[in-house]
Amino acid sequence: MSAKIHKDVILKEEIKQLLDWFWTPDNFVWDSPFAYSKTVAGITLQPEMAVRIKNDYWPEKLILDIVKRINLNPTSYDEITFLHIKNKNYFGLHTDTGKGDQETLDKNILIPLYFEEKASTVIFKNRYLKGKTGNTFTKEMAESCEFYDPNVQIDEHIIQEHLSHINQDLLKGLTIDMIYEWKIGDVLTFDRQQVHTPGTNNCDKTTLSLFTNK
């Protein structure tokens, strides 16, 4: 199992500090019908913007300290994004593999910040060894993944509870590594090549995601 839960890593007051910063309006907000987000580091930022953020704006010390608590020491981050999902089942199967450089890709770090009732993330053992898929994961992509097995079928009860928003044809051949039930204070890590999706839900939720490099 590549996915790992680091339990009770973050204090409640630290969660509040991160949420307070996230919900403060500024020039770095991306607001769409699908999601409200802030990307505070990453390949999409202009260099001058990244310098401003790194030096004096975002809660860098706290976030990087959290990464140290789970014994990771990345050389860089492709992206550090706060995300509040509005369209509850907008995100389907995908990977966060950047440009697909297998020599440098390391971990996804997912930090739950807020959710109502319950929320989950489903991580698959299957690994996609090309660039970032976005939200357009196809059957051809699935079949090209490591550990794809056309004879594998996910249990129907799991599909109904966690994966009912996914086209079932895409799920055939994929194997689940972990179903992570969100808990405030936890941190989830898994390999960036791993296919994953938010679980089926109808609740508001907010997360902090970090895409790290070796």
Which CATH number belongs to the domain containing residue 208 in this structure? 2.60.120
Structural domain containing residue 111:
4-213
Token pair, residue 183, equals 């808990």
Structurally, how many domains does the chain consist of? 1
Q: Is 52 a residue whose pLDDT tops 50?
A: no
63: number of Cβ within 10 Å: 21
Tokens 């699908």 label which residue? Answer: 34
Helix (H) / strand (E) element for 209: namely strand 205-213
pLDDT confidence of residue 77: 80
pLDDT confidence of residue 56: 52
Q: Is 68 a residue whose pLDDT tops 70?
A: yes
Q: Cα separation of 214 and 198, whole Å?
A: 25
Tens of pLDDT, residues 129-180: 998 887 889 999 999 999 999 999 999 999 999 999 999 999 999 999 999 9
3-state SS, one letter per residue, for 17-86: HHHHHHCCCCCCEEECCCEEEEEEEECCCCHHHHHHHHHHCCCHHHHHHHHHHCCCCCCEEEEEEEEEEC
Q: How much of the chain, in percent, has pLDDT values that exceed 90?
A: 62
The pTM assigned to this predicted structure is 0.90
Tens of pLDDT, residues 173-209: 999 999 999 999 999 999 999 999 999 877 789 999 9
211: number of Cβ within 10 Å: 24
